[in-house]
């Protein structure tokens, strides 16, 4: 069933399973998938490339005034270029990981990125994952979810994911990095990570991804994919 006007907000901490769930829900319901964290990562990547210190809020603001961002859709997901370049895998690099929470805490950066995310409405119905989608970006959407999992489970998932990309970081290092980001994301003054009023909270510890996808699809009145369809190629 195609439901082009909907915005489904999926918030939660790092490695709670948001990306996988959001992608599959988008594909099941014929909506566009949006990774809002990628934009904060993109701004961080641009700042590092241009030599702007991540803690210099005024310089970040000037950087964004000059930035040329373009959106497009590929494979059901909203993609972007910044100053003509798609940063691609550079968004997941160690230097971006180490600095993105600080950049994302700058009010001027948040203001600009929230405006970009709202512009994406023009592209059709969306499944957007992030930290403040239900609280700030689209507070009026009736479809809000907060996905969580225990810190140990999240570290285990992120460690497996990173190892698959060739990273040699230990489980302990991954867990410490997640804890550091959680602390900044939940304690920052501008739009901290929290459960939006009216959001459905799903603790995915011990749940299969297919089951989480099914819970979300049913809650928004769509048809959940079968486990086989949901798993993809």
Residues in contact with ligand DC by the rule CB under 6 A = 14, 36-37, 40-41, 100-101, 104, 130-133, 181, 185
For residue 109, give the nearest of 39, 51, 53, 52 by alpha carbon: 39
Whole-angstrom Cα distance, residue 179 to residue 126?
29
In the three-class reduction of DSSP (H, G, I as helix; E, B as strand; rest coil), residue 129 is classed as strand
Cβ nearer to ligand DC, comparing 106 with 224: 106
Residues 6+ apart with CB under 8 A from 2: 29, 30
Nearest approach, Cβ of residue 226 and ligand DC (Å): 28
CB-CB contact of 226 with 219 (8 Å): no
Whole-angstrom Cα distance, residue 28 to residue 69?
28
Cβ nearer to ligand DC, comparing 144 with 181: 181
Nearest approach, Cβ of residue 227 and ligand DC (Å): 26
Nearest approach, Cβ of residue 113 and ligand DC (Å): 7
Nearest approach, Cβ of residue 81 and ligand DC (Å): 18
Cβ nearer to ligand DC, comparing 140 with 228: 140
Whole-angstrom Cα distance, residue 106 to residue 119?
20
Cβ nearer to ligand DC, comparing 115 with 227: 115
Nearest approach, Cβ of residue 1 and ligand DC (Å): 27
Q: How far does Cα 69 stand from its chain's mean position?
A: 18
Cβ nearer to ligand DC, comparing 20 with 225: 20
């Amino acid at each position: 069933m195609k439901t082009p006007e909907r915005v489904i907000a999926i918030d939660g901490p790092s490695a709670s399973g948001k990306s996988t769930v959001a992608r599959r829900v988008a594909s099941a319901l014929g909506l566009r998938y949006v990774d809002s964290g990628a934009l904060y990562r993109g701004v961080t990547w641009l700042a590092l490339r241009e030599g702007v210190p991540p803690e210099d809020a005024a310089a970040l603001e000037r950087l964004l005034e000059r930035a040329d961002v373009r959106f497009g859709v590929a494979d059901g997901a909203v993609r972007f270029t910044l100053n003509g370049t798609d940063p691609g895998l550079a968004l997941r690099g160690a230097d971006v990981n180490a600095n993105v929470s600080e950049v994302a805490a700058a009010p001027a950066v948040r203001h600009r990125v929230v405006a970009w995310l709202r512009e994406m409405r023009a592209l059709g119905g969306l499944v957007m994952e992030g930290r403040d989608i239900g609280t700030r970006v689209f507070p009026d959407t009736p479809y809000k979810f907060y996905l969580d999992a225990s810190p140990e489970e999240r570290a285990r998932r992120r460690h497996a994911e990173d190892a698959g990309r060739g990273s040699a970081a230990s489980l302990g290092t991954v867990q410490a990095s997640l804890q550091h980001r959680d602390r900044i994301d939940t304690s920052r003054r501008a739009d901290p990570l929290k459960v939006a009023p009216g959001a459905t909270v799903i603790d995915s510890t011990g749940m299969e991804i297919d089951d989480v996808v099914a819970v979300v699809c049913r809650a928004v009145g769509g048809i959940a994919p079968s486990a086989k369809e949901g798993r993809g190629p």
